Structure 1
Amino acid sequence: MSRFATFTVVGLLLAVPLLPAQAQKRTADATPKKLYCWNKGSERICSDALPQEAVNSAREEFNLRSGMRSGEVQRALTDEERADAAAQAAQQRLDLAAEQTRQRTEQAMLATYENEDDLRRVFAERSGILDNNIHTASYNVASVRDALVTLLASAGNRELDGQPVPDKQAERIRERHAELVAQRRMQASFEQQRRALDVEIESTLQRYRLLKGVGSDPRG
């Protein structure tokens, strides 16, 4: 009895490795074979094996048994195309984050401000700072311009009298002119910022009215 049992166990152990191999063969037989078709220049190529040079090409795949198309693979992207795709995906994430921020801001705006006057006060400080900057820049432009006019008049009178303009005076004229250009540029920048703020205020108020479901000038 003991000898029979030993041979039976040995036989089972020897038979075990054969089972996975048989299962793999049946699985391989059950896996449908494919036909790959791709373009090489103006030539259409089809094969049941995909060569290395065609791995990155766009191709169609067909089931050899049924003849039906089983799939399609797009060509691999170039480095430039991958970079463009990554940039586009990053921009989409930024746009989504901006939209989510906008929604949270609008919800907070509705919860915080009871009417337009409360909302307008949010912009009062920014408006005041810009108005003060514009006023200061305008004063500086006028002041520098007057100084430049005085210097130019003095230099012109010397030339009319047949006298040369001293180098120091000419240098001061150049400095005052450069300063005037800079002050005018600064004034224009402040004025542009003020116009942009006016647009922002009006846009915010319109959005607030829309969210509140009120008319164009709810002051009560």
Structure 2
Amino acid sequence: MSRIATFTMIGLLLAAPVLGAQAQAKRSSTDAKAKKLYCWNKGSERICSDALPQEAVNSAREEFSVNSGLRKGGVERTLTEEERADAAVAAAQAQLDQAAEDTRKRTEQAMLSTYEDEADLRRVFVERTGILDNNVNTANYNVASLRDALVTLLGSAGDRELAGQPVLPKQAEDIRLRHAELVTQKRMQASYLDQRKALDAEIEETLQRYRLLKGVETDPRG
């Protein structure tokens, strides 16, 4: 073996421990950089560990660097089935709200370009107003008629009782039926009246919006 080769081999042998130590130090440094510290709450207790146990996987936690101690990030807790369903409903509602807002803006633009004045806009509600007014009038008539019929039946039954005679089964059945019909018609009457009031409010709100879009001031006297 030549003298140069001998010196080269000696140099490699001497350098080997140093190179191995450097590689080990590099690996240790890399491992330390990659290692994290996890912190989460278990009831009222705060727990921190460099290993995340299975029971804490779904918990909200913070992650810190072992080397620097700086916060590296965090993970929200896993939602339950019910929470995921609620979130889905909320997202769907938000989408509907946005669609409603977009529709409102398009409607306002159409309102400005379609109707020249308030009288023109009021005509849009004429058919709905007529239908509801007819329903209210019909319900009023039915309630009055059924009440009169019921009063007559009750009077007839009362006369029989005053005369010491029993109320006939047919009379009792007629009274029951008329009373049930009267209750139904009164509910319908109340519903139609509520709908009419709601329509009046809708008309007024639409007119107010129209005036605002047109830049027309509202007369304080109405």
Band the TM-score falls in, shorter-chain normalisation:
0.7 to 0.9
1:71 deviation in Å? 0.8
Q: Cα 1:129–1:54, aligned 2, differ >3 Å: closer, same or farther? A: same
User: TM-score normalised to the size of structure 1?
Assistant: 0.80
Q: Following the alignment from structure 1 to structure 2, what is the Cα–Cα distance between the partners of residues 171 and 55?
A: 70
Deviations 1:180-207 (A, max 9, x none): 1111111111111100000000001001
Q: How many residues are aligned here?
A: 192
- Equivalent residue number for residue 79 of structure 2: 77
Aligned with 1:195 (options 177, 197, 208): 197
Runs of 4+ that moved beyond 6 A: none
Amino acid at match of 2:127: E
| 2:142 partner SS | helix
Identical aligned residues as a percent = 76
Deviations 1:69-109 (A, max 9, x none): 11122222222222222222221111111111111111111
1:122 deviation in Å? 0.3
Q: Following the alignment from structure 1 to structure 2, what is the Cα–Cα distance between the partners of residues 120 and 77?
A: 50
Task: Tell me whether 150-159 or 197-206 shows the greater mean CA deviation.
Answer: 150-159
Deviations 1:128-179 (A, max 9, x none): 1111111111111111111111111111111111111110111111111111
1:44 deviation in Å? 3.3
Aligned counterparts, 1:27-46, within 5 A: 29=30, 32-46=34-48
- Equivalent residue number for residue 148 of structure 2: 146
RMSD: 2.0
Q: Following the alignment from structure 1 to structure 2, what is the Cα–Cα distance between the partners of residues 185 and 126?
A: 20
Aligned with 2:215 (options 204, 208, 213): 213
Q: Cα 1:115–1:49, aligned 2, differ >3 Å: closer, same or farther? A: same
- Equivalent residue number for residue 160 of structure 1: 162
Aligned counterparts, 1:87-106, within 5 A: 87-106=89-108
1:210 deviation in Å? 0.7
- Equivalent residue number for residue 180 of structure 1: 182
Runs of 5+ consecutive residues of structure 2 not aligned to the other structure:
1-25
Q: Following the alignment from structure 2 to structure 1, what is the Cα–Cα distance between the partners of residues 45 and 126?
A: 71
Q: Following the alignment from structure 1 to structure 2, what is the Cα–Cα distance between the partners of residues 204 and 39?
A: 53
- Equivalent residue number for residue 126 of structure 1: 128
1:42 deviation in Å? 4.2
- Equivalent residue number for residue 107 of structure 1: 109
| 1:162 partner SS | coil
Q: Following the alignment from structure 1 to structure 2, what is the Cα–Cα distance between the partners of residues 121 and 132?
A: 17
| 1:46 partner SS | strand
Runs of 5+ consecutive residues of structure 1 not aligned to the other structure:
1-24
Q: Cα 1:216–1:42, aligned 2, differ >3 Å: closer, same or farther? A: closer
Task: Tell me whether 177-186 or 190-199 shows the greater mean CA deviation.
Answer: 177-186
